[in-house]
A and B are shown apart, each in its own frame.
Chain A
Amino acid sequence: MIEVEDLTVARGGVTVFEGVSLTVDEDEFVALVGPNGAGKTTLLQAINGVLEPESGTVEIDGRRVIDCSARERGRLVATVPQDTHVGFDFSVEDIVAMGRTPYHTRFGRSDREADDRAVRRALDRTDTARFADRPVDEVSGGERQRVLLARALAQDTPALLLDEPTASLDVNHQVETLSLVSDLGASGKAALAAIHDLDLAARFCDRIVLLADGRVLANGPPAEVLDAPALGAAFDADAAVTTHPTTGTPSVTALGERRDRDLTVHVVGTGRTAARVIARLHDAGATVTAGPLPEGDLAAETARARDLETVTAPAFGSLGPAVRDRVSTLRDAATALVAADPPAADGIAAVLDARLPVVTVDGARPADSGSADRTAPNRPEQMIRVASPADVLEAVVTVAPERELPADD
């Protein structure tokens, strides 16, 4: 239905994307995702003919969009714009009726009955009929979004493009709008939507196209596209992809943008606390080394998943000399040491007794319990105790001030 082939589009002399190919079949609802500035809107505008591509073709229903007259284009593809501001007090119905513009001839009589039918149907389907007589500027942002969707439906086109259709909607209306669009697929429309919310995209769309760095990075079923490395590369951030507990569709949690810091931290610890400390510091862009961590422990798994330099040791055993040596090497390269529920192993005191600022994270105990302090380095000014892994970065930066790296972009 929508066939984009090897499309290259430039704006103001700068290439936005190059060699983009994708298809959207009828009955299909495809999400276009990607970071801000990836060219999602530009791609939509190249498909609906607002922008002329440098090279490549766009065909809708077997017809090249660029060769169509504006009126023919208006009957092939409808677009729901991102900016829903109208600024004139047209009634909701007037706005929806403007969707019939491509069917009007300037002097001849138009098929008024078909117009009325299409407008009525569009109002009903989008649940906007109840405020059809109200000025469009007096309805809420969410309602206005649905009005513009109704306008696009009144155009009665085989292809439908949506530019961030849920950006101004509350959660409820986001779900409603997207299920409506996904139902439209069932009535034979090919729908392509730029969507910010990856969870929603995964939940409602048949396919996801990931656009970043000026090309299509991935294109396929949500579960396939939404895997962490691809997303991480596209969004320049760490993402965790899990299965949503209630909808069963892939769910994405962005873990924040990674920024390289001139901060090397060595973590000694066990369990959830250490795992979260490692994740927190690593997400924040610090170079993290760890050890000793008990084999099979959550902390060890986390460090391994992140490909960190790690020393593991059998749980409950004593640390052999080889392990201690490797730990010392890593520790001495660090600018700070974090003890997060350290393992109860022989020799651990030696590891912790270092000429380094130390942050102690006591996940198990409240910070002010004042109980026996196993770390006990005799440099209180360089020792901070925090209760939660969430605070560890701040504490580390306090005891071991980092030098800002010169920005390299």
Chain B
Amino acid sequence: MHTGVRTVWWSVGLSVLLVAVVLASATIGPVAIDPVTVAKATLNAVAIPVGVSVSVESASAFGASVPVPVPDLSYYYPLSLSVPTTAEIIVRQVRLPRIALAAVVGFSLASAGAVMQGFFRNPMADPSIIGVSSGAAVGAVATIAFPLAIPFGLQTAAFVGALVAAFGVYAIASEGGRTPVATLLLAGVAVQTLLGAAVSYMLLQAGQSLREAVYWLMGQLSGSSWAEVEVTLPLALLAFGVLYAYARDLNVLLLGETDAHTLGIEVERTKRILLAVSSVITAAAVSVAGVIGFVGLIVPHVMRLLVGPDHRILLPTSALAGAAFLVAADTFARAGPAEVPVGIVTAALGAPFFLYLLRNREVHAL
């Protein structure tokens, strides 16, 4: 089918772009490593999960010890090309985890952004429009500012905060089984403002840890580990799969809820699923990377201009383009003499580009 063929070609093209950006990014860093070695080391890092073993570890929460099942993946590495050990370690343990995490976060934010813009039929919608980022910020800043009061790790706190905020907004906006989109939008704005106040207050009280908190709020990927990729990647892929399964429904929802209803869509149920899954995927991204703006806003916009509004092609291309964009932006963030939070780079690149689109009347409506 027409759309199917176009989707495949665009996806293949953007995947090639993503790989190219990943390799280029892995070549850049304080230690000069030649591209061939980088490529070899990267290929060596390609892993195929072959088995899962579950071990039970005890985690402490609220002072009590709770047994938590932890899945352990075992991997098969199909390639072992000969690469100098130092280069291999730098590429595999320092650069690649960060690049991979950037790709996963960009992938997640852009696909959630595409879904939210379609869902709200609003070009200014982004993944955190229903308070996900603000909720994550409250969780994260609370952990940073008052490390003793919060019994979870930073990422868990951010993730939980994000979901609580999103669910709160949803619950406030729902009445009698219906969730009007306009109410949701306004409730989201109000809750974001409220949580923003909470974050500001905690920053004032943060003292020594102020700098760390601010860094988190600006969005940063330094110190990323494979462990974070292992958690977020499956979640992102799974969530993306669900969203993609609803691509047609999203198209029909663009016609308005009444029309969607008469075309056989369970409107409220579909909205709930789309909101929940987008919130989870955004929460996962924000909790490992902090608040990275504009990826979820700009990337789906640009892709919509390029491939059109059909979510069957818009969703996968936005996700891949988001991954490539964030890897590139993070490379800029760490390539300079002093590292800057990647959120600054995405905003600095994204906002002018968005204004350019606005001035050219490309972005007048969805």
Contacts and interface: CB of A to CB of B under 8 A. Distances in A.
Q: Indicate the member of B256, B258, B265 with the most A CB atoms within 10 Å.
A: B258
A12 to B, nearest CB: 12
Given A98-B251, A101-B248, A101-B252, A88 B309 contact: yes
A104 interface: yes
A101 B249 CA distance: 8
Contacts of A86: 254-255
A406 B18 CA distance: 74
Contact of B308 (A70, A72, A75, A89): A89
Size range of the interface on B? 20 to 34
A259 interface: no
Contacts of A107: 245
Contact of A71 (B258, B264, B308): B264
Interface in B291-349: 308-310
Size range of the interface on A? 20 to 34
A86 B308 CA distance: 14
B264 A70 contact: yes
A73 to B, nearest CB: 6
A86 B265 CA distance: 17
A19 interface: no
A106 B245 contact: yes
Contact of A98 (B255, B258, B366): B255
Contact of B261 (A50, A89, A99, A106): A50
A71 B263 CA distance: 8
A232 interface: no
A81 interface: yes
A49 B261 CA distance: 8
B109 to A, nearest CB: 22
B121 interface: yes
Interface string B1-27: 100000000000000000000000000
Interface in A48-69: 48-50, 69
A79 B262 contact: yes
A104 B246 CA distance: 11
A10 to B, nearest CB: 13
Contacts of B267: 70
A102 B254 contact: no
B310 A94 contact: yes
A258 to B, nearest CB: 36
Nearest to B118: A88
A81 B258 contact: yes
B309 A90 contact: yes
Contacts of A74: 262-265
B257 to A, nearest CB: 9
B72 interface: no
B262 A48 contact: yes
A341 B17 CA distance: 90
The main secondary structure of chain B at its interface with chain A is loop
Interface string A79-105: 101010011111000110011011010
Nearest to A98: B252
B50 interface: no
A216 interface: no
A77 B263 CA distance: 9
A50 B178 CA distance: 12
B266 interface: yes
A312 interface: no
A239 interface: no
A107 B309 CA distance: 21
A99 B251 CA distance: 12
Q: Indicate the member of B121, B252, B264, B267 with the most A CB atoms within 10 Å.
A: B264
Q: Indicate the member of B121, B262, B265 with the most A CB atoms within 10 Å.
A: B262
Contact of A73 (B264, B308, B309): B264
A108 to B, nearest CB: 11
A50 B252 CA distance: 15
A279 to B, nearest CB: 43
B365 interface: yes
A101 B258 contact: no
Nearest to A88: B309
Given A45-B258, A69-B266, A90-B251, A112 B1 contact: yes
A79 B262 CA distance: 6
A295 B219 CA distance: 94
A98 B248 CA distance: 8
Nearest to B1: A112
B259 interface: yes
Contacts of B249: 101
A288 to B, nearest CB: 47
A87 B263 CA distance: 18
Contact of A77 (B245, B255, B262): B262
Interface of A: 45, 48-50, 69-75, 77-79, 81, 83, 86-90, 94-95, 98-99, 101-102, 104, 106-107, 112, 151, 155
29 contacts: A48-B262, A49-B261, A50-B261, A70-B265, A70-B266, A71-B266, A74-B262, A74-B263, A74-B265, A75-B264, A77-B262, A78-B262, A79-B259, A83-B256, A86-B255, A87-B254, A87-B366, A88-B254, A89-B309, A90-B254, A90-B310, A94-B310, A98-B251, A98-B255, A101-B264, A101-B265, A106-B245, A106-B246, A151-B263
Given A49-B262, A87-B366, 10 more contacts: A49-B261, A50-B261, A81-B256, A83-B256, A88-B254, A90-B308, A94-B310, A95-B255, A101-B249, A101-B264
